[in-house]
Amino acid sequence: MKKSYIITNDVKVPLVLEGGQAHKSAQIRFKLLKKGTIVKGELKHSNNKPSFVLVGRMGVIPLSCVQEVVSTPIVSNASGTESTEIRDSSKDVIIEEKSPKIKYADAMLIGGLVGFLGVYYAQKNNYIDADESKYKLYGALGGGILAMYFVFRNNNKPKITVSKPKPTL
């Protein structure tokens, strides 16, 4: 049965490429697996003891370089169904994420207020023409759009999570 394993040390895995024909001999190549890479493989035994992990059809990884990744679904105690909340198991804190629509609405309101107040301050100190009342509307609209853009940029950053594997005994 194939399971997920995480590489704990950098390891070169020998791969044998068969020629398939009499005049083409088999070739041995090496694939470098870096620390932290997750691979799917099958644990093989020798004399009823685990000996190595077989990755793909012919990749052999020694047991000293891998650890098994065990994952369990997060289940709500009350209903017995899987939860969509993000849970940090080390601190047992549930992190609820806001809806993107609410984030954009909040950003538009705050950005609009900042833009309006910026134009008001500029008109009060005679940096721009105080007779034109449309400038406040333009400032609020520009500030709201700019704030929504910043929220969009922050939401679409790739999120990288790094977790250390637990040592097995």
pLDDT in tens, 137-154: 999 999 999 999 988 888
Q: How far apart are CA 2 and CA 53, in angstroms?
A: 10
What is the per-residue pLDDT across 76-115, written as a single tens digit (0 to 9) for each?
665 555 555 554 455 455 555 667 778 888 889 999 999 9
**Mean of pLDDT values over 116-140:** 89
Percent of the chain surpassing pLDDT 90 = 24
What is the per-residue pLDDT across 61-84, written as a single tens digit (0 to 9) for each?
888 889 988 877 777 665 555 555
Cα atoms found within 13 Å of the Cα of residue 28, Cβ hemisphere only: 4
Give me 80's structure tokens.
């017995």
